[in-house]
Amino acid sequence: MGRKGSPRSPQAEGGSRAASPPSPLWALPEELLLLICSYLDAQALGRLAQVCRRLRFLSSRDVLWRRIARGCLNSGFTQLGTDLAAGIPVKERVKVSQNWRHGRCRRETVLKWKCNLMPWMELDGEYLYLSQAENIQAYHLCAEGSGLERHPQAIFSGHQEDVCRFVLVNSHIVSGGGDGSVVLHKIHGSYSVKFSAHEQEVNCVDFQGGLIVSGSRDRTAKVWSLSAGRVGQCLHTVQTEDRVWSIAISPLLSSFVTGTACCGHISPLRIWDLESGQLLTCLGTDFHRGAGVLDVFYETPSLLLSCGYDTYIRYWDIRTSTRKCVQEWEEPHDSALYCIRSDKNHMIASGSSYYGVVRLWDKRQTRCLQSFHLSSPTSSPVYCLRFSTTHLYAALASALHVLDFTAS
């Protein structure tokens, strides 16, 4: 009989074969094991996870999947490596990313309304904010699945006519309406401010750093203060000489871009100094008459996406050239593009003007990656779309559709 604590003999284990010695792999420090595994691709990591529980745990570490995820579509990482979806395991995001690439999803119509509208929306954590006529309604997203709760948890009003567009920033909603006014709401509270902004409808607004910029059909863009004692005071009025359809403030808070209707011979895409209101630069040199810019989106202070009536998505890098975009993608069916959104890395989603067509694009490819037709037989533009790492929401004239990419 062996001493207490000594290894058991093969007979004591009930077998005749000697116990296998422990693998020298486990003698390595965890940092070295992770370094070795970092050379594996997604398929190899998946196979490694099937060996044993310890390797399953090791191969699921976020640090191993981060490099793979940065090359995937809509995995929550920007080009600079910033994680926009912290808290969700990176391995799971890589799996869902394959569904985005291959178009595997479950479609559902989650809201319908009787009269045709031009809705706009924003996503904020567990809530979806949707404009319907003169109100903005906050719907709670269901914990499981892709649906919304039946009734809105909050309604924000103040406009006398339809809300054209709104933005959600730092627990504030800023909206522009057909009545020419701009309304500021604080989401958690009763505080709201309304001021007359333009002579005609406010087609677009943005809000950053205590400043609001608004664009209107009256051919002006304006900068508004929200500082104490100066709320609603106009700081600058920019004469754009054309109707303003889209507007966005640069992440550096130094300038803003306007997208106009291109009814004349002026570039529809121009950048203005936020402090002085002076024109800084025009983007592009060859735009056809009527090729208005309907949506703009900053990825970084120097990278900008635009789309509109000329059926192209254009990617601008103002560090290299303001005369020509660095990349462009053409809508296959020659339809105007009403809205775009980017994951700030490889994926772009666009909404077309006919039959509720949503398209997914990979910037590394020239052709459209996936297409989804959400309205048939009635034709409707996709007025707005937003997406998370798992779901895409598209607002059409009479319904809100959702694509659930967690479905296998």
CATH of the domain at 56: 1.20.1280
**Which of 99, 134, 157 finishes a domain?**
99
Q: Is there a single domain that holds both residue 378 and residue 264?
A: yes
Instruction: Tell me whether the omega of the peptide bond preceding residue 377 falls within 30 degrees of 0, making it cis.
Output: yes
Q: Is there a single domain that holds both residue 342 and residue 238?
A: yes
Q: Is there a single domain that holds both residue 206 and residue 142?
A: yes
Using 50 as the pLDDT threshold, list the residues of the chain that sit under it: 1-16
Domain that holds residue 165: 106-404
Q: Tell me which DSSP letter residue 25 carries.
A: G
Q: Is there a single domain that holds both residue 85 and residue 207?
A: no
Q: Is there a single domain that holds both residue 167 and residue 49?
A: no
C-alpha–C-alpha distance, residues 202 and 159, integer Å: 11
Q: Is there a single domain that holds both residue 68 and residue 122?
A: no
Distances (CA, A) of 51 to 43, 61, 169, 185: 14, 16, 47, 55
Residues facing residue 330 across a β-bridge: 312
Long-range contacts of 184-187 (CB under 8 A, 24+ apart): 184/212, 184/226, 184/231, 185/136, 185/156, 185/158, 187/138, 187/154
Distances (CA, A) of 358 to 50, 230, 297, 350: 38, 41, 17, 6
User: Quick check: 312 and 348 in contact, CB under 8 A?
Assistant: no
331 lies in a domain? yes
Q: Characterize 166-184 residue by residue with b for buried, 16 or more Cβ atoms within 10 angstroms of its Cβ, and e for exposed.
A: bbbeeebbbbbbbbbbbbb
Q: Read out DSSP for 345-405?
A: SSEEEEEESSTTEEEEEETTSSSEEEEEE---SS-----EEEE-SSEEEEE-SSEEEEEET
6 lies in a domain? no
Greatest Cα pair distance, the chain, in angstroms, is: 100
Residue length of the chain:
408
Q: Is there a single domain that holds both residue 124 and residue 85?
A: no
CA torsion sign for 87, 387, 270, 164 is: negative
Q: What is the pLDDT of residue 12?
A: 43
Helix (H, G, I), strand (E, B) or coil at 106: strand
Distances (CA, A) of 302 to 241, 320, 352: 25, 9, 26
321 lies in a domain? yes
Q: Is there a single domain that holds both residue 350 and residue 218?
A: yes
Count of structural domains, the chain? 2
Q: Characterize 201-230 residue by residue with b for buried, 16 or more Cβ atoms within 10 angstroms of its Cβ, and e for exposed.
A: bbbbbbbbeebbbbbbbbbbbbbbebeeee
**Which of 43, 74, 99 finishes a domain?**
99
Residue type, 105: C
CB burial of residue 87 (10 Å; 0-12, 13-18, 19+): exposed
Residue with tokens 């691709």: 41
92 lies in a domain? yes
User: Quick check: 353 and 337 in contact, CB under 8 A?
Assistant: yes
Q: Tell me which DSSP letter residue 148 carries.
A: B
Q: What is the pLDDT of residue 50?
A: 82
**Which of 77, 99, 121 finishes a domain?**
99
Q: What is the pLDDT of residue 36?
A: 80
C-alpha–C-alpha distance, residues 179 and 157, integer Å: 13
Q: Is there a single domain that holds both residue 300 and residue 389?
A: yes
CA torsion sign for 216, 191, 171, 145 is: negative
C-alpha–C-alpha distance, residues 343 and 248, integer Å: 17
Structure tokens at 23: 């693998």
338 lies in a domain? yes
1 lies in a domain? no
CATH of the domain at 259: 2.130.10.10
Q: Is there a single domain that holds both residue 166 and residue 246?
A: yes
261 lies in a domain? yes
Q: Is there a single domain that holds both residue 87 and residue 114?
A: no
Q: Is there a single domain that holds both residue 228 and residue 325?
A: yes
293 lies in a domain? yes
Q: Which helix (H) or strand (E) holds 222?
A: strand 220-225
